[in-house]
A and B are shown apart, each in its own frame.
Chain A
């Protein structure tokens, strides 16, 4: 059924009525008044036929050829007598002097069918004399049978018909409501589903285009970065050669200039390296080479990069390696770069004569969802936890999570005090996620920040699996199971291997 016809098509009476139920109602009417009731739909189909006291009379008349013909034409007349919605009941008298009334059944102003009430005797009736010509007809018997038909006045019949019509109206109306409700409900759900499918298709197409654009962007960045690095290596190399005096001794002013060229070149190379790292992460091409590493060594190695800057600013560096910290399977280069980034930030944002603590501990986490009602003690996940705690300027709460977004700067003004590209933390978190670990931050403005790196202790063999780089801010448990958004908004796969 089309959408428009659902509302516009008026269902036939057989669909509108619970015919069996309504037959029971008609039967009770028939028994109450002793008069038969017939119900036809607008196409002439019989829906209900309740006979009352006329059963014997009908059988008798039907058994005689002449009256059988008359009876058949009476039935046709009752069924086909023209009647319109809104017309009053039509009176039909039959050949033995009995009477029927035909009333229209109206639904929403249209003719839905007809109800035929009868036969009844409009008064004391006598056998019409013209029936005497039917030789087979026993007039005495006919008169006896006619006396069994109930007598009703027009007023009584009109009241009964009005009562029946209003009952029928209520039944039809409530059925119509139910039928239309279910039809519209189904059609509406279908319509809504089609709308959703259309929107989903649009979103899928848009998503596909975005993914393609993202892939093109990553390719572009990787290519451009690579192309930039090649000439930059020459700039740095020749600067170093100049400083080493390979082209002759430099006067102090020339040396200062070349030093500046070298410094800026190296800074630019670092930036290009970071951009390359990010594009590799986004395209899922970061290789994690795991080997057993001593956490204390990892911390020491990272600190060695930072010590000169810290000394320059009179910042105290304190290292705490807790008892029980054991070697861990990680990519030591990636972990060193995470720690160098965290420590570098800590030094950058801590005022002169401040203090930075780097603390390594072991932590057990309960799996997500476990509680004290668990039947068995849940298996705990063991992590290496490294906190980098500074006494710096801190990060406002509303920007805490955003510091891990690519190119995000807490102070984004053109006059900002601290330099940086905004890529370091984004890369660091992705490296942590690639280890199925996490990198989180807690901070109080004016008091300092604590960056926490958590790396799971896993067996060497487990490190061979493919680890998704995803889920910014995902807990280690989530990182095992979910595939969410990466720092840049894409999902990458990092291949891990054991060295």
Chain B
């Protein structure tokens, strides 16, 4: 988090990290289309070659809060290609939260794992705590026939602490839910570390409302599974409601 006293501005950095071609830029493009136009700035793509990101994309999302602070959320992507490891580490520096964009295709499992490990290593190398920084996982490309099943993803969600969201970024599906879920997590973390509500009088509801308007994010896969199991337990003789 950066705090600009003169301009009463708070800058938060969110990084979309993931293996090559998993849809990080597609996420930002979908957000740029979907978010409230007065909140969303210009989507900047730094250097591309053959439609691939060479450095990063950045999308600023800004809002004025009731307490007079200007809150700016800077959404970055990293370049996915293997040779750009140094740039990925650079972009991750100073991150407040991370969206890990995984490729749902079965064949990409190893790539997902390698980039996951790489992300954790780079976070640590940047002096960030890979175990406590807010992270959500988005399993993108749900529309492909070779994608893993929702049950498998729910299993992944159950194993880890990170909320998991399914998405089809090119169609904008699940993109807002992912960011919504991340900001909820981020807010809890900011409050824990900086006493955000007391110090700046900014609430999660205000922040979410300023960015998403009336949109309410869908629950993550593990939340959905919990809801389903509680509902099943409540219904008589274990039948589905």
Contact B72 A187 (CB under 8 A): no
| Smallest CB separation, A413 vs chain B (Å) | 36
Q: Does A185 contact B (CB under 8 A)?
A: yes
With A and B bound together, what is the CA distance between A185 and B46 in angstroms?
Answer: 10
With A and B bound together, what is the CA distance between A4 and B126 in angstroms?
Answer: 9
Q: Mark A158-197, 1 if CB is under 8 A from B, else 0.
A: 0000000000000001001100110011011111101100
Contact A109 B46 (CB under 8 A): no
Q: How many residues in A have their beta carbons less than 8 Å from beta carbons of B?
A: 28
Q: Mark A83-98, 1 if CB is under 8 A from B, else 0.
A: 0111000000000000
Contact B86 A191 (CB under 8 A): yes
With A and B bound together, what is the CA distance between A7 and B38 in angstroms?
Answer: 23
Q: Which residues of B contact A374 (CB under 8 A)?
A: none
Within residues 75 to 134 of chain B, which ones have a CB less than 8 A from any CB in chain A?
Answer: 76, 84-87, 89-91, 93-94, 126
| Smallest CB separation, B41 vs chain A (Å) | 5
Specify which of B62, B84, B93 is in contact with A188 (CB 8 Å cutoff): B84
User: Given A110-B70, A177-B46, are A4 and B93 neighbors across the interface (CB < 8 Å)?
Assistant: yes
Contact B70 A7 (CB under 8 A): no
With A and B bound together, what is the CA distance between A319 and B94 in angstroms?
Answer: 79
Q: Which residues of B contact A109 (CB under 8 A)?
A: 41, 60-62, 70, 72
Q: Which residues of B contact A85 (CB under 8 A)?
A: 7, 62, 70
Contact B90 A187 (CB under 8 A): yes
B56, closest chain A residue (CB): A184
Q: Does A227 contact B (CB under 8 A)?
A: no
Q: How many residues in B have their beta carbons less than 8 Å from beta carbons of A?
A: 34
Q: Which residues of A contact B64 (CB under 8 A)?
A: 84, 86
| Smallest CB separation, B94 vs chain A (Å) | 4
Contact A7 B86 (CB under 8 A): no
| Smallest CB separation, B240 vs chain A (Å) | 47
With A and B bound together, what is the CA distance between A86 and B94 in angstroms?
Answer: 27
Q: Does B9 contact A (CB under 8 A)?
A: yes
Q: Does A139 contact B (CB under 8 A)?
A: no
B63, closest chain A residue (CB): A109
Contact A181 B55 (CB under 8 A): yes
Q: Mark A6-18, 1 if CB is under 8 A from B, else 0.
A: 1110000000000
| Smallest CB separation, B133 vs chain A (Å) | 14
Q: Does A224 contact B (CB under 8 A)?
A: no
B38, closest chain A residue (CB): A86
Q: Which residues of B contact A181 (CB under 8 A)?
A: 46-47, 55
Instruction: Please indicate which of the listed interface residues A4, A111, A173 has the most CB atoms of chain B within 10 Å of its own CB.
Output: A4
Q: Does A353 contact B (CB under 8 A)?
A: no
Q: Which residues of A contact B61 (CB under 8 A)?
A: 109
Contact A7 B76 (CB under 8 A): yes
Contact B70 A184 (CB under 8 A): no
Within residues 46 to 71 of chain B, which ones have a CB less than 8 A from any CB in chain A?
Answer: 46-47, 55-56, 58, 60-62, 64, 70
Q: Which residues of A contact B2 (CB under 8 A)?
A: 8
Q: Does A42 contact B (CB under 8 A)?
A: yes
Contact B44 A176 (CB under 8 A): yes
With A and B bound together, what is the CA distance between A191 and B47 in angstroms?
Answer: 18
Q: Which residues of B contact A188 (CB under 8 A)?
A: 55, 84, 86-87, 90
| Smallest CB separation, A51 vs chain B (Å) | 30
Specify which of B41, B87, B94 is in contact with A8 (CB 8 Å cutoff): B94
Q: Which residues of A contact B6 (CB under 8 A)?
A: 42
Q: Does B158 contact A (CB under 8 A)?
A: no
With A and B bound together, what is the CA distance between A42 and B6 in angstroms?
Answer: 10
User: Given A8-B2, A110-B70, A195-B85, are A3 and B93 neighbors across the interface (CB < 8 Å)?
Assistant: yes
With A and B bound together, what is the CA distance between A429 and B23 in angstroms?
Answer: 56
With A and B bound together, what is the CA distance between A184 and B91 in angstroms?
Answer: 9
With A and B bound together, what is the CA distance between A173 and B58 in angstroms?
Answer: 12
With A and B bound together, what is the CA distance between A156 and B13 in angstroms?
Answer: 40
Q: Which residues of A contact B47 (CB under 8 A)?
A: 181, 185
Q: Which residues of A contact B42 (CB under 8 A)?
A: 108, 173
| Smallest CB separation, A272 vs chain B (Å) | 50
Contact A110 B9 (CB under 8 A): yes
Q: Which residues of B contact A7 (CB under 8 A)?
A: 56, 58, 76, 90-91, 93-94
Within residues 187 to 235 of chain A, which ones have a CB less than 8 A from any CB in chain B?
Answer: 187-192, 194-195
B64, closest chain A residue (CB): A86
Instruction: Please indicate which of the listed interface residues A181, A187, A195 has the most CB atoms of chain B within 10 Å of its own CB.
Output: A187
Q: Does B202 contact A (CB under 8 A)?
A: no
Q: Which residues of B contact A187 (CB under 8 A)?
A: 86-87, 90
With A and B bound together, what is the CA distance between A180 and B11 in angstroms?
Answer: 18
With A and B bound together, what is the CA distance between A180 and B60 in angstroms?
Answer: 15
Contact B94 A84 (CB under 8 A): no
Q: Does B74 contact A (CB under 8 A)?
A: yes
B84, closest chain A residue (CB): A188
Q: Which residues of A contact B46 (CB under 8 A)?
A: 177, 180-181, 184
B39, closest chain A residue (CB): A109
With A and B bound together, what is the CA distance between A195 and B42 in angstroms?
Answer: 33
Q: Which residues of B contact A194 (CB under 8 A)?
A: 86
Specify which of A8, A189, A190, A195 is in contact with B11 (CB 8 Å cutoff): A8
Contact B7 A111 (CB under 8 A): yes
Shortest 4 CB-CB contacts between residues of A and residues of B: A109-B62, A191-B86, A4-B93, A4-B94
Residues of B within 8 A of A (CB): 2, 4, 6-7, 9, 11, 13, 38, 41-42, 44, 46-47, 55-56, 58, 60-62, 64, 70, 72, 74, 76, 84-87, 89-91, 93-94, 126
Question: What are 22 A-B interface contacts by the 8 Å CB criterion?
Answer: A4-B94, A7-B93, A86-B62, A86-B64, A108-B42, A108-B60, A108-B74, A109-B60, A110-B7, A110-B9, A180-B44, A180-B46, A181-B46, A184-B55, A184-B90, A185-B47, A188-B55, A188-B87, A189-B86, A191-B86, A191-B89, A194-B86
- Name 17 extra pairs, CB < 8 A, besides A184-B56, A191-B86: A8-B11, A108-B58, A108-B60, A109-B61, A109-B70, A109-B72, A110-B72, A177-B44, A177-B46, A181-B55, A184-B55, A185-B55, A187-B86, A188-B55, A191-B87, A192-B85, A195-B86
